[in-house]
Structure 1
Amino acid sequence: MTRVRVAVYVTRGSDLLVFTQRDDAEAGVQVPAGGVRAGERLDAAAVREVLEETGLSVSAVTPLGVQTDVEGQVTVFAHATTATPLDRWAHTVTGGDSDRGLSFECSFAPAASVSLAGGQGEFLSLLR
């Protein structure tokens, strides 16, 4: 069975929400992403993943594109917005998967200058 994931570009103006893992610098700069649960809508999965990985609430989830890797894993990329006044914060991942308990350093960076790990930047140009 094909695993479906969501990855979410959360913007505040022209800035993009990104994070790094406190204990794994080699993981690189990332955006919220994770698996879609059985029966879960893609927009609901996007909202949940952002909340679990960053603690932020988002709105206006819009699909942008679909990426399939060499192993057949499908990732749906989406865009969402936030009005949070936070610029930088630490967050411990919640939720029931293997990321639970990881510590992330979250921040906003200019979307035009962000370099994301693991192919997560494929649809960034659609934000411009």
Structure 2
Amino acid sequence: MDARVETDAKGRRQVHDACIKPCAIERGMRIIGGKWTGSILWHLKDGPVRFNDLSRMVGGASKKMITERLRQLETQGLVTREVKDTAPVSVQYQITELGCTALGFLDELRKWSESLPQNMADA
């Protein structure tokens, strides 16, 4: 249901029939809109990646932040985690089939971002 906005006689805006639940865009942003989330999924698109390699790929994010995002993505079913019994122990992550469904719009976001003036990204 779309919200209806009306202006009263005093110029105040009133919203009617607002959605109780988040709209589809808000819901999607809650799932994938966290800082570094899209970047992590994008870097997993070509196959399994070890944690340390992933942390180097996602420049600017701390290992703690990457760990938090990976746990969140794993809980949501967008990423799987595999512990390799090697010496030393190795952990690698892989995007799931569900996670791959986000790659299309992440690629569109990449193209859109590349089309913007460079100084916009710095703002």
Asked if TM exceeds 0.5, the reply is no
> What TM-score comes out, normalization by structure 2 length?
0.27
Larger strand proportion of the pair? 1
> What TM-score comes out, normalization by structure 1 length?
0.26
Which has more radius of gyration? 2
- Relative contact order, CA 8 A, sep 6+: which one is greater? 1
